Amino acid sequence: MRRGRNAAVIVSTLLVAGVLAPGEAYADTAFADAVFRATHNSYSGNVDGAKGSITYQLDHGVRFVEFDIHDNDYGTTGDYAIGHSSPGDLVDHAGNPSSNKLRDWLATVNTWSDAHPSAAPIVVMLDLKDDLTDNTSYAAGNLAALDTELTGAFGANLVQAKDYPNALPSIGTLRGKVLTLLSGDATTRAAYKRDVGYHPAVAVNSHGQVVEVHDNGGGALWYWTGQLGADGRITWLRHGRYDSGQTPAVALNDNGQLVEVHQSQSATTLWSHVGQLGADGEITWSASKQYDNGVLPTVAFTGADTVREVHRSQSSSQNWQWQGTLSGSSVTWTGNAKTSSARYDKSSSRGVTVSTGADGATPAQTLRYTTAQVAGGDIRYPQTAFDEYQAGDSAELKQGALFYAATATDKSFITSARSSGHVVRGWDFDDASLATDPLANYPATNHPWEDWYENLVSANGVVQ
């Protein structure tokens, strides 16, 4: 049933009759029922097809644009690069930004959106041409850096996925807004929705600052930082790799100083780090130093600048302890002795507990957290962007996805997804014979100005 088309006929009648003003059109149309003009490889302008600049496309009713992005030179340029098979490939700069930097292209969309507050919501899809999970820090361009770029680019215009986990509101509610959508590399899209790890440990200070550390089961040590809210939810801010090893533990004081301890991956040596947690959630780490031999280390603050470490012997069940004193970016360990004390519970701190476990279709080693108000929250990025599910993707990418996509030739996938109430994109929609009933919400074409395309979307009640 073409509910979007039927709604369009009604709205058109009301507009002609003067009952509705243009900005009121589609105020009650469900997002999943609407059809929008959409372009494929939007950045290619007239280099590939005949689309024109991004501004031209938006001026003429396109409400879905695609930017293919690469992370090759992020460490040097501080940004992702637009391009098809490589940065700059098939990029048309005529009427567009002179650079290939993603930030400049996002600014073009935001400037247009600011000037057209009654326009239907714009979707900016980022086709991830590279695996961003090998960017091991914010500075290297990981997904936390991408989130920051999106929120910085669109500000109050941005509709964030975290605010609409189950369904999108009506078109009228979202006029003048921008939604961002992750497509492309499936490994990155999965990592945006969840993280996996082993032996998680957590520390929380009285300010609600949170530091979580874990190993990846293969010798890499990773951290997350976040802020605990009054509702018991943690907003996870930064993520990165900080060393090699296994079974880490961490302690955090109210000055944002932290002491981390871990066991080496291939031996029973014990190592420690000192770190400083910044207001932005980033940690400045000191170099690691070996302080003993043993296994399964744990640590806790005993004073403003003193800590106690307890671990198990590498050759027996005997526990041993050290006393540590912080001074600048280092810790001095003294007082090594046997102890009858148990090791600290490194998985809990100030009412926050971390663990691993499947969340529906996610892996068994998915990192989770629990507080008094939240049972089984995922340790993950804040979900600024929506995450696309494509034909052939894994069950975990399908789980909770609002946006679906397939090549336009996969008609059965498109019609099934539309009938199920999802928002669907069909890419390379370059011939009228590819039309389905119902039509894809976003028939993403390389030929948006050809008569067959204009006639088709108009007949299906295109929203602009």
Give the confidence band of 54 by pLDDT, cuts at 50, 70, 90: very high
**Considering the domain boundaries, does residue 71 fall inside one?**
yes
Please state, rounded to an integer, the average pLDDT across all residues of the chain: 94
141-170 per-position pLDDT tens digit: 999 999 999 999 999 999 999 999 999 999
Peptide bond into 169 cis (omega under 30): no
Give the confidence band of 16 by pLDDT, cuts at 50, 70, 90: very low
The SS3 of residue 77 is helix
**Considering the domain boundaries, does residue 166 fall inside one?**
yes
Which DSSP symbol is given to 63? Answer: -
Same domain, 295 and 355: yes
Task: Say how far apart CA 345 and CA 354 lie, in whole Å.
Answer: 11
Same domain, 155 and 135: yes
Same domain, 205 and 336: yes
Same domain, 108 and 187: yes
Task: Among 323, 352, 378, give the residue marking a domain's end.
Answer: 378
Which DSSP symbol is given to 185? Answer: -
Here the CATH number for the domain that contains residue 98 is 3.20.20.190
| Alpha-carbon torsion angle 91, 92, 97, 103, nearest 10 | -30
Give the confidence band of 13 by pLDDT, cuts at 50, 70, 90: very low
* DSSP assignment of 107-149: HHHHHHHHH-TTSPPEEEEEEE-S-GGG--STTTT-HHHHHHH
Task: Say how far apart CA 113 and CA 105 lie, in whole Å.
Answer: 13
Domains held by the chain: number: 2
**pLDDT value at residue 336:** 98
Q: 400: which 2 tokens?
A: 């909770």
Same domain, 117 and 246: no
Same domain, 153 and 35: yes
Which residues, at least 6 apart from 185, have a Cβ–Cβ distance to it below 8 Å? 128, 129, 130, 131, 132
Q: Inter-axis angle of helices 102-115 and 143-154, to 10 degrees?
A: 30
**Considering the domain boundaries, does residue 234 fall inside one?**
yes
**Considering the domain boundaries, does residue 444 fall inside one?**
yes
**Considering the domain boundaries, does residue 8 fall inside one?**
no
Q: How far is CA 228 from CA 150, 356, 403, in A?
A: 23, 19, 29
**Considering the domain boundaries, does residue 21 fall inside one?**
no
Task: Say how far apart CA 137 and CA 126 lie, in whole Å.
Answer: 20
**Considering the domain boundaries, does residue 169 fall inside one?**
yes
Same domain, 390 and 284: no
Same domain, 249 and 164: no
345-382 per-position pLDDT tens digit: 999 999 999 999 999 999 999 999 999 999 999 999 99
8 A C-beta contact, residue 164 and residue 423: no
**pLDDT value at residue 49:** 86
421-445 per-position pLDDT tens digit: 999 999 999 999 999 999 999 999 9
83-109 per-position pLDDT tens digit: 999 999 999 999 999 999 999 999 999
**pLDDT value at residue 7:** 45
290-342 per-position pLDDT tens digit: 999 999 999 999 999 999 999 999 999 999 999 999 998 999 999 999 999 99
Same domain, 347 and 218: yes
Task: Among 337, 352, 378, give the residue marking a domain's end.
Answer: 378
Task: Among 378, 408, 430, give the residue marking a domain's end.
Answer: 378
Same domain, 221 and 84: no
Check pLDDT > 60 for residue 15. Answer: no
Same domain, 298 and 407: no
181-227 per-position pLDDT tens digit: 999 999 999 999 999 999 999 999 999 999 999 999 999 999 999 99
- Domain span holding position 329: 195-378
Same domain, 172 and 66: yes
**pLDDT value at residue 429:** 98
Termini Cα distance of the chain:
21
**Considering the domain boundaries, does residue 370 fall inside one?**
yes
Nearest to 166 by CA among 372, 399, 329, 328: 399
